[in-house]
Amino acid sequence: MSLTNKKWIMKNFHRFLTFALCAVLLACSKSDSNEETEAKAVDRRANLKTTGDSANDILSNTNFDKLLIEIAYVSGFRPTSTTMTQFADFLRQHTFKEAIEMRFLELDSPDKEDLELQEIADLEKENRTAYNEGKTLAIYIYFADAPSDGDDLDEGLVTVGAVYRNTSMVIYAKTIRRLASQTTAISIADVESATLNHEFGHLFGLVNLGSPSVNEHEDPDAGNHCDVQGCLMRAELQLGRVTGKSTSIKKGLQSVCDLSGNTVLNMLKSKSTSGKSNTVSLDAECVLDLKANGGR
């Protein structure tokens, strides 16, 4: 074989080795990328069920022993520290969860004059980071800077909160602050706490949403709400089903409760004028239902 042919073979052999090595590295890179993508993939199905479906999981430690509460809030509308303390106390009072983590997520404003429930769900899909994992059950709560599109200011009807999935709810923080500013006897934390705890009561499965009534106390005129006077889950607190103002039903994505701001305010005023604490609690029947479904 001539020297020229040997040089040609060696030159092309080196090119072949270089090409083969690049191909192997590229294949490994793609494989690693695919594995990384699969590892990061999140199964959201457990957090996309209907309200009350996770009641027992929230109340008991059978399947989950930790709650991760993701508090997503628009800049300037972070809930007060008092609200968060009272909320954590409420959870520990009625569930067996000792490990409760509050994770705060600050978000830009969506720049909306008002928000439909479907728009809120779309924002959740875009921004939510916490989902069920292992023994941790995740909840998403959005504090909005825009009112509900179902509000009717001329009629004095405003919504302060709504729950729309088994681990999802919205708190209309701007509306709450406007209501709280109407009186010095009631603070932002008072209204936030009453709203947050009421809506979480529905995630607990109240009333007949996943925690069946031991003794029937559901208001026949306002489903999924208690008929006991003074209870946190009282039907008079509800707006949507009673007045027909719930646009969540019109738009397809349904909320079992659009909480009326004025009725929350009136209940808090009543407690304030009677000299009682502004904390609104669950009545004995609701507590009995929670205990029967794995709660304290």
Whether residues 220 and 180 fall in one domain? yes
- Selection from 164, 295, 291, 147 nearest residue 224 by Cα: 164
Q: Is the same domain home to 143 and 210?
A: yes
Instruction: Note the pLDDT of residue 265.
Output: 74
pLDDT at 243: 35
Q: 93: domain CATH number?
A: 3.40.390.10
Amino acid at 154: D
- Are residue 89 and residue 37 in the same domain, yes or no? no
Measure the CA–CA gap between 203 and 169, rounded to whole angstroms.
9
The pLDDT score that the predictor gives to residue 150 is 87
Instruction: Transcribe 117-182 into DSSP letters.
Output: HHHHHHHHHHH-----BTTEEEEEEEEESS-BTT-BGGGTB-EEEEEEETTEEEEEHHHHHHHHTT
Residue 5's pLDDT is 56
Same-domain pairing of 258 and 221: yes
Helix (H, G, I), strand (E, B) or coil at 288: helix
Q: Is 113 found in the same domain as 9?
A: no
Residues 157 and 206 occupy one common structural domain: yes
Q: Please tell me whether residues 24 and 163 are part of one structural domain.
A: no
In whole angstroms, give the CA distance from residue 256 to residue 251.
14
21 and 70 share one domain = no
Q: Are residues 146 and 252 in the same domain?
A: yes
Q: What does pTM read for this prediction? A: 0.82
Sheet with 66-74, edge to edge strand ranges? 99-107, 66-74, 136-144, 168-172, 159-165, 257-260
In the chain, how many domains are there? 2
Look at residue 248 in the predicted model and tell me its pLDDT.
Answer: 40
> Are 85 and 199 contained in the same domain?
yes
Instruction: Indicate if 34 and 81 belong to the same structural domain.
Output: no
- 12-49 pLDDT, tens digit each: 556 655 665 555 556 655 555 444 444 456 789 999 99
Q: Could you tell me the residue range of the domain that residue 13 belongs to? A: 1-41
Extract the residue ranges of the chain whose pLDDT is less than 50: 8, 33-39, 238-251
Residues 84 and 26 in one domain: no
What radius of gyration do the chain's Cα atoms show? 26
